[in-house]
Amino acid sequence: MSFAHDKISPMTNNDSKLADFIQALPKAEIHIHLEGAIEPETVLELATRHNMLERLPARDAAGLREWFVFRDFPHFVDIYLTISEMLRTPDDFELIAYRLGADMAAQNILYREATFTPHTHVDFQDKGLSIEDILSGLEAGRQKAKRDFGVEIRWVFDIVRNFSFEDNAERTFKPRPSEATLEYALAGMDRGVVGFGLGGFEVGCPPEPFEEYFAEAKKHGLLSVPHAGETEGPASVRGSVYELQADRIGHGVRAVEDESLLRELIERQIPLEVNPTSNIRLHVFEDFASHPFRRLDEAGAFVTVNSDDPPLFNTTLIQEYQTLVDHFGYDRAGITRIARRAFEAAGLEEDIKQSLLAKFDQEARQLGE
């Protein structure tokens, strides 16, 4: 199975005014991974800072972008963990949070809810980091980005689901990653953590064993935002909705395979955090012609559009909106409607949400005049 980027046809829409509209439209993004949003230039900067250049297959950004062209899923994991290894001090976390905000300003993204995996840095990789080191760095970067760019950033701390199962025939469940992630998420609620997630490799790692941790997170006011329905089918989505009481579903696109489940998602208007390019890169769907984004939207599902791991998938949020035009036939009205939904589904404080929605509505009207 090839993961090469040439599986996706180039953009063909030549309406420069529509491209300008997408750029100028205020945007929110609720599904992006912080570690997966680190650009090659920053990877090189971190590797140089920590004398780790030998860990990289290239010494320039162009070479690293070539490395990002996946051979298979294990290659994707190798890239992800190598990048994570470069994050070794509070200053490193401040840097990547701040760069996330700078990218938001460049794309006119007013709000981002970035998923972050603290267990990898505190427990899985031996770097001598505490959760306080990480939280202090993230908070410094988040506040600096708000000051310099006027953007709002919040965090979702997620469990790596496959770290919670023994690699044996019984697939014995290990609670420690879940317990630790819950502890870290609760510790960060006063510093921007608004959601509790479930990421990692779905196959063989169902959501049901994580029920008690999500119940506790919700009891403390965190959103339940598990990944489901990406590399596994409707059963993963159903378990996330019923057992994890999901407020949103990361991906969720394979719910289209089960009419009764899709009908329930529509009735309950549970937002789906859809990542079209990611789905193609990872062969959830082979091409945009088979991707169900438009079908889900027309059926009445609450769909949003997101970029997931943008440099790893050679995309941006702006490109994802352009994809709606080029491959799904959306016009300005459709783009505006989808863009507004990301603000509606956001997990930030209600007064800030309403302020951002008012700003969005005003600027969208002005752009449409």
Region 266-271: mean pLDDT is 98
pLDDT number for residue 369 = 55
Residue 187, Cβ density class (10 Å: 0-12 exposed, 13-18 middle, ≥19 buried): middle
Rank 7-16, 63-72, 165-174, 311-320 by mean pLDDT and report only the highest. Answer: 311-320
pLDDT number for residue 334 = 97
Region 197-205: mean pLDDT is 92
pLDDT number for residue 3 = 34
Would you say residue 357 has pLDDT above 90?
A: yes
pLDDT number for residue 7 = 40
Mean pLDDT of the chain: 93
CA distances from 21 to 31, 101, 277, 294, 344 (A): 22, 21, 20, 20, 20
pLDDT number for residue 78 = 86
User: Residue 12 — very low, low, confident or very high, per pLDDT cuts 50/70/90?
Assistant: very low
Would you say residue 68 has pLDDT above 60?
A: yes
pLDDT per position as a tens digit, 107-153 = 999 999 999 999 999 999 999 999 999 999 999 999 999 999 999 99
Q: In terms of Cα–Cα distance, which of 289, 285, 283 is closest to 326?
A: 289
Q: In terms of Cα–Cα distance, which of 178, 151, 149, 152 is closest to 163?
A: 178
pLDDT number for residue 15 = 58
Active-site residue set: 230
pLDDT number for residue 77 = 81
Would you say residue 2 has pLDDT above 80?
A: no
Would you say residue 71 has pLDDT above 80?
A: no
pLDDT per position as a tens digit, 295-337 = 999 999 999 999 999 999 999 999 999 999 999 999 999 999 9
Domains along the chain?
Answer: 14-368 (3.20.20.140)
pLDDT number for residue 16 = 65
Would you say residue 32 has pLDDT above 80?
A: yes
Residue 125, Cβ density class (10 Å: 0-12 exposed, 13-18 middle, ≥19 buried): middle
pLDDT number for residue 117 = 97
User: Residue 4 — very low, low, confident or very high, per pLDDT cuts 50/70/90?
Assistant: very low
Region 94-102: mean pLDDT is 98
* Percent residues over pLDDT 90 in the chain: 85
